[in-house]
Structure 1
Amino acid sequence: MKSFGKSASALLCAGTALATLPLLSLPAMAQAQSQETAGEFTLGEIVVTARRRAESLRDVPVSISAFTAEQMEMQGTPDITSLTKTTPNLTMQVARGSNSTLIAFIRGVGQQDPLWGFEPGVGLYVDDVYIARPQGAVLDIFDIERIEVLRGPQGTLYGRNTIGGAVKYVTRRIDDEPHMKVKAQVGSYKQTDLIISGSSPVTETVGVSGAVALYRRDGYGKNLTTGKEHYDKDVSAGRLSVEFKPNEDLFIRVAADKTVDDSNPRHGYRLLPTAGFPVLDSVYDTQAGLTGKQKVKNQGVSGIIEYRTSDSVTLKSITAYRDGRSDTVIDFDNLPGKILDIPAYYEDDQFSQELQLVYEGERLKGVAGLYYMDAHAEGAFDTIVGLANLTTLTAGAVDTKSYAAFADFTYEITDQFKASVGARYTSDKKTGSVYRVNYDGLTSPLFGGTPRNPTLIRSDYTNSRTFDEFTPRVSLTYQPDRDFTLYASYSRGFKSGGFDMRGDAILTPDTVNGYNPELVDSYEIGSKSRFWDGRATLNLAAFYSDYKGQQVTTQVPAGASIASFVDNVGSSSIKGLEAEGMLAVTDNLTANVVVGYISAEFDTFLRYNLATGQYDNIANQAVFQNTPKWTASFGLTYTHDMGDAGLLTLTGAAAHRSAFSMFEFPNPALDQDGYTLFDLSAVWTAASDNWSVGVHGKNLGNKKYRVGGYNFPGALFADSIIGYYGPPRTVTATVEYRF
């Protein structure tokens, strides 16, 4: 800890020295749009709502990256997983076996397993509505104002399951003028997309807005067994909202959204050959034989009411209901035969209600509130082991009732010093039911097999537990002037406990008791600066996290079955550094740099030993998954004013990630080496600002890189070590008309 403290102090003291470098300047946290005022070129101001109230990004004592819609459009950003390239110490990927399920890690903390009943480690919010399940959470970029990525525990204001951080998806509000936008995209692999969005006042007090997006693309590869496209995209999405503003003090919005993913099953690529089946030439091809229904649906409705009772007090209500269903087939062996096949469905619904009081006094500012959520998640799947003529049916459900009270306030001690204090109390009650049985044959009655009795009941239990936690946050900010902020903070994050929906009471008897919560105590010091007459910005942060009770999911072969563990494995230490910078090199050329470093080590890692029935400490064998030591990106944006002919914007970027492990136990055949991705975009905008035409090239080096995998070695499972890959080189042309 002493050596880390020295590193942190050195980093912050280096801020002045870094300011003299021509390209290392601040916030990759944002687009920071360029503007000209009084003959001087400056980087624009970014307003965020990280603390549930509007503030300048420079004033918030939290590590934030904020990306505006305009910035992402100029870069051709397709969905929120692209933020991985431009945010330090962030991993956001499409889950294994799915096209629209999100896997997220921030600063080494997250959750890879999207099974129902498991909680994410990074909270996802759409207009302050918490999205409890990762299915359908790979949100495409349309109809938004900005995206905010909050790094580090956000347990005080955002609650449970923001132990690694939070991602906020903020949509636009309706203004007083009608707007309409039509955007068409065509590109590699027969990509054809259409996005139509618009808003308009209906009366002086009522406005409506809506958006429809259709995304179609052939696969990057083929299923050589079925002949179907592989890694294709068939997604339809829409949003509709109505806003009511009878006076300056009252605002009401009712919004609904729906996303449907009809893409083909995403199987994987076998990394090892087996008898009669060599390794395929293309990493996007598969020989999976399992077929069946593949569909992901996610939808919801929300209501927001804001009422300003005085110049200093605003009351806010956020009410939301969401539900979703996923039907999927995952061929774990990726061969034509039924060696290790999984047909499955997931289903969930949630109701949430949040009440807030926002106070904006002369020196005291903050928010207090109450939160309630009632959620249900269920699902089932067959584990078909063809060589053993055995099917294991796993089914279950978990009900969650969550209650919380929170407050977070900032007091200006002097014009330069501010102190913030916050706390949240959360109580989660969970009831889990697990049913796991064996059937002879290659299907169960639930997934189309003949009705019959199971040959062995492995689990059949229902249990309830309540998890309570107090999550405080304190920070101290020193701001000698508007262009420099120095802060230090402490925060605690809490991720709820639960029950393993794969729990096998025969192999792991303790599974009926469930698993405990995770806790992270995080310490951070940082600075945010703006200099050279507003032409450059620089953000620095150093953090240390004490991580306890990590919930690690492990699945290993056990005879003719698969043993699942969800263990609170112990404790670990995480420390890291982050730098984000932007510089206006000239009036037409801006540069941005992002650097993230993280060192994460297990101090204790307890794993259940199937042979002895005891827990062994194997911390010296375990590593953090999905956590590269280094993340970095560098970008240049050049704008050329062509007068009446319009404006040309060129954007080039390189993003690097060092080597990382897919799971807690390294596997040379599966883990990903370091790699760098190169992107290039060119966008022409008409002088009238009505038309724009763009060309966007992604992964121009055509790098093949893994984003997920499965590991089931052994003859019974045909050595099923499987990789899933990020997109190859693609080129997309866009045409947009605004009126």
Structure 2
Amino acid sequence: MFLPSAVSNRPLLLGAACAALLAAPVHAQDGPAAPDAVEGIAEITVTAQRRATNLQETPISISALTGDALDQRGMADVAAIGGATPNLSTTSGGAGSGGTSNIQLYIRGIGQFDFLAASDPGVGVYIDGVYYARALGGVFDLLDIERVEILRGPQGTLFGKNALGGALQFITAKPGNDFGGTIEGTFGRYDRINLRGAVNLPIAEDKAAARIAFSSKNADAYGRRLDLATGRSIGRRPGDQDSFTVRGSLDLKPSDRIDILLSYDKTRERQESPPIVNAFIDTVNSAAPLWNALVGGPAGTPWDQRYLSPDPDTSYGTGLTDNRLDAWGASAIVSVDLGPVEFKSITAYRKIFSLFGVDQDGSPLDYASTRNRDHQRQFSEEAQLSGTGFDKRLKWVVGGFYFKERTNDFNQARLLTGLYPALQALPGPLDGSPLSAPTAPGGFGNPLNLGLDLNLDLDTTYRTTSYAAFGQATFDVTDRLALTLGARYTDETKRSELSVLRVQSNSYVIAPGSKVKESYSDFSPRASIDYKVTDDLFTYFVYSEGFRAGGFDGRPTSEAEGLHSFKPEQLTSYELGFKTTLFDRRLRFNADVYYGDYKDIQLRTNTVSNGILVVATENAGKARIRGFEAELTARPVPELELTASVGHTDFDYRKLGNVPGLTFTSKPLKTPEWTTYASGQYSLPTGFGQLVFFGDWSYRTRTYNDAVNTPVLSQGAYSLFNARLTADFGKWSLAGFVNNIADKRVITDGFTVEALGFYNTSYNRPREWGITARYRF
């Protein structure tokens, strides 16, 4: 059995130093700068308050990554950004779903544990102001990105749709008046061939411009599937890449007061799931002994420890590994200058088709596998009015938000295949009780047999309609002191129409047309005070609240479970922070401390009730969350830039709900206690241009992948290292890189159904190297 080794080092010095400084984060990690560039650290403008502000004077715990920083770090998709950001976890939902493009986002211990539409995200994702509602397709390409803003803590006022733990805002590059662009190709290990490019097309000066960008990723698989008897590779190999993304935008300015930005994007993926392996197989305290006795044993192929995976990339599974995604969206952003106020409308429509599956038993047997087919579409409209008053001392924004979504999830669960007909064929109940009043399954017509027919077709359609009104105002009491008040009221209705068919017995757990409906409302206030102590030191305090709507169980195995709903989550948060820029902008240091009361926590449970497997979502009581983030950027000389960050999350359950196995010492999913990052970049002028040396290191303490902290699914403390060398000749550049230099294999996801005895894990990609050539025109 393959198990990860733990790394015992701790970020003591950096963590202690940052913790002693109290404060709040915000750090922009900039790209390579030529020696003759501005000697100080460049300022970054963010729109975290729905208006342009200097990052260093924005009273929010926020990190910012510029497009150059993403390129230099080789961050090609959303799942890559977590390692460089304190208290942020970004992984794809591998072992639980088989869907490479299903994102799992967590900030300060709050996120989304399931990809189903039955569960809403705890971290909001926005691209150019458009809300992305689902984890499906969430591992999207960071194509032609101007910057990424990571907002920590509840964003219930301006980013209100379930932004309980925070929000990720992606801002794409906009069309401009100058013709130009880039084209690049990357070639590397596993026969990788990546192509991407962008071109800016001026149409009419100051009146119209267009921009088109594309990305193509192709690489061979790094995983294997083996025949147990011969040890030879069989079937399609998991872990390849085959995706294409295109984005186009058209900026129209019919007058000096009107701006219309039209955008369209499309993504297509046709690849295999990542390698998903058996970390542990329980053939004692699960249904495996019964299945082996009646199905696997008589066939001469019991499911047991022989199917434990020999390494992180190898399994003996033969089930479905397809991983398909078709996603597209269109938006129109209309901005109108009305003189004293500005009006903005963000109208968007998005559609997703996703197909993926996972062979959970990791064997050629029909013991446990699932396959999901999802169709999602959404329409959203946000209208804003913003302006200033009192000689620009008052800055305000008010608006309304409308969101409508329909998602159909068709889930084929094939669990314990063959057990139901084997029980039907027995002469009577397994415990010898009379068939007229059985107390155990077995025997033709025994009603208890139905609970073990877990070949299920679950067909569920979710509908969500959400309305919200919001407003926020900032008043400059003095030139240095400002107060901000904001609030959002949300009214949301969810409907679910479902049916669950037992395939082998051809009987319904839940009949077609069954419906359930719930409505939720919430008032989310926000208040902050900020004070500019000096021109270089900015401090703030924030009180904020956020909520995540409730919902319904997405995998009901009984009629009662199909009608079961769970309550919304609530978070009340307090933050105190500072941001400082020193030594002629050669040093920037931002830090914060936070405290949160988190209640009615939504967690997924896997239990057995009256002999029936129950996979449900329950509210798990209350927790206290506290910690800090600190980020530092230094440019002691124009050629050298250094960054460092550390995050700490202390998550303690204070009250436990109905979640079996959860204890007061349990830790949250996807949330290491410590997250640390450091990078260095040195630019060396040469006679033909410059050489840019870049390296980074990320460190995380133990991370748990399920609510009850199953040890075999957890990942011990680990470090990852990357390096890049770029030769920049002006229009041309050539870069060589190595990712995961030490070839450290890390569990990124884990999933178990204890009643069935499988414990699945998936890992990060192995060491990869490559060369990237870029041409700017």
Q: Deviations over 1:151-185 (max 9, x none)?
A: 11101101121101111111111111011211101
2:458–2:500 contact (8 Å) kept in structure 1: yes
Give the drift of 1:591.
1.0
1:592 aligns to what?
Answer: 643
Q: Partners of 2:532 and 2:217 in 1: how far apart?
A: 46
CA distance in structure 1 between the aligned counterparts of 2:313 and 2:396, rounded to whole angstroms: 50
Question: Counterpart of 1:359 in structure 2: which amino acid?
Answer: G
For 1:105-144, list aligned pairs within 5 A: 105-144=106-145
After superposition, the CA RMSD in angstroms is: 2.3
Contact kept in structure 1, 2:509 and 2:558, CA below 8 Å? no
Q: Which one has the largest radius of gyration?
A: 2
Superposed displacement of residue 276, structure 1: 6.7
Contact 1:269 1:722 in 2 (8 A): yes
CA contact (8 A) 1:232 1:263 kept: yes
Does the CA-based 8 Å contact 2:238-2:321 persist in structure 1?
A: no
| Residue 371 (structure 2) pairs with residue 343 (structure 1) | yes
**1:444 aligned partner:** none
Residue 404 (structure 2) pairs with residue 374 (structure 1)? yes
Instruction: Establish whether residue 172 from structure 1 lines up as the match of residue 173 from structure 2.
Output: yes
User: Which residue number in structure 1 is paired with residue 437 of structure 2?
Assistant: none
Supply the distance in 1 between the matched residues of 2:238 and 2:681 (Cα, whole angstroms).
34
CA contact (8 A) 1:439 1:456 kept: no
- Among candidates 507, 522, 532, match of residue 469 of structure 1: 522
One-letter amino acid of the structure 2 residue matched with residue 735 of structure 1: A
**How far apart in 2 are the matches of 1:92 and 1:566?**
22
CA deviation profile, 1:563-602 (whole Å, cap 9, x unmatched): 1121111111000011000111322111111000110011
The structural deviation recorded for 1:728 is 1.1
Structure 2 Cα separation of the partners of residues 183 and 29 of structure 1? 25
1:203 aligns with 2:217: no
Counterparts of 1:560 and 1:381, CA distance in 2: 22
Deviation at 1:28, TM superposition (A): 4.1
Match of 1:683 in 2: 726
Paired with 2:312 and 2:657, the residues of 1 have a C-alpha distance of: 35
Write the distance in 2 (CA, Å) between the matches of 1:133 and 1:206.
33
- Alignment partner of 1:211: what SS? strand
Contact 1:148 1:169 in 2 (8 A): yes
Aligned to 2:308: 279
**Correspondent of 1:219 among 204, 221, 226:** 221
Corresponding residue for 1:317?
A: 345
User: Can you list the C-alpha shifts for 1:44-84, whole angstroms capped at 9, x where unaligned?
Assistant: 10100001111000111001111111111122222122211
Quick one: which of 44, 47, 71 aligns to 1:46? 44
| Identical positions, percent | 29
- In structure 2, the residue matched to 1:729 is 767
Tell me the SS of whatever aligns to 1:277: helix
Helix, strand or coil: the match of 1:620?
A: coil
Map 1:253-272 onto structure 2 (within 5 A).
253-272=261-280
360-369 or 284-293: which moved more? 284-293
Q: Give runs of aligned pairs for residues 554-569 of structure 1, distance below 5 A.
A: 554-556=605-607, 562-569=613-620
Contact 2:19 2:628 in 1 (8 A): no
From 392, 410, 417, the counterpart of 2:456: 392
How big is the shift at 1:141?
2.0
- Say which of 461, 483, 488 aligns to 2:536: 483
Residue matched to 1:29: 28
Q: Which has the higher contact order (CA 8 A, sep 6+)?
A: 2
Q: How many angstroms does 1:498 deviate by?
A: 1.3
Distance 1:11 1:680 in 2: 26
Q: Does 1:159 align with 2:189?
A: no
Displacement of 1:27: 5.1
Which of 303, 324, 329 does residue 295 from structure 1 map onto?
324
The equivalent position to 1:631 in structure 2, one of 652, 660, 675, is 675
Distance 1:558-1:262 versus aligned 2 partners, 3 A rule: farther
| Equivalent residue runs for 1:441-452 within 5 Å | none
Question: Partner residue of 1:149?
Answer: 150
Alignment check: 8 A CA contact 1:26 1:593 kept: no
Structure 1 stretches (4+) deviating beyond 6 angstroms? 8-13
If the length of structure 1 is used for normalisation, what is the TM-score?
0.90
Q: What is the alpha-carbon distance in structure 1 between the residues aligned to residue 552 and residue 74 of structure 2?
A: 41
Matched, 1:720 2:761: no
Q: Counterparts of 2:359 and 2:768 in 1: how far apart (Å)?
A: 27
* Counterpart Cα distance in 2 of 1:223 and 1:548: 43
8 Å Cα contact 2:31-2:72 kept in structure 1: no
Change (3 A) 1:510 1:456: closer
Q: TM-score, normalised by structure 2?
A: 0.86
CA, structure 1 residues 267+589, in 2 after alignment: closer, same or farther (shift >3 Å)? closer
Give the 3 Å change call, closer, same or farther, for CA 581–330 of structure 1 in structure 2: same
Deviation of the 1:250 alpha carbon:
1.3
Q: Is residue 363 of structure 1 aligned with residue 380 of structure 2?
A: no
1:42: how far off?
Answer: 0.7
5+ long unaligned stretches in structure 2: 1-14, 228-233, 282-302, 421-452
Distance in 2, matches of 1:41 and 1:419, equals: 34
Check whether the contact 1:68–1:147 (CA below 8 A) recurs between aligned residues. yes
CA distance in 2, matches of 1:619, 1:156: 33
What does residue 703 of structure 1 align with? Answer: 744
Q: Secondary structure at the match of 2:658?
A: strand
Partner of 2:88: 90
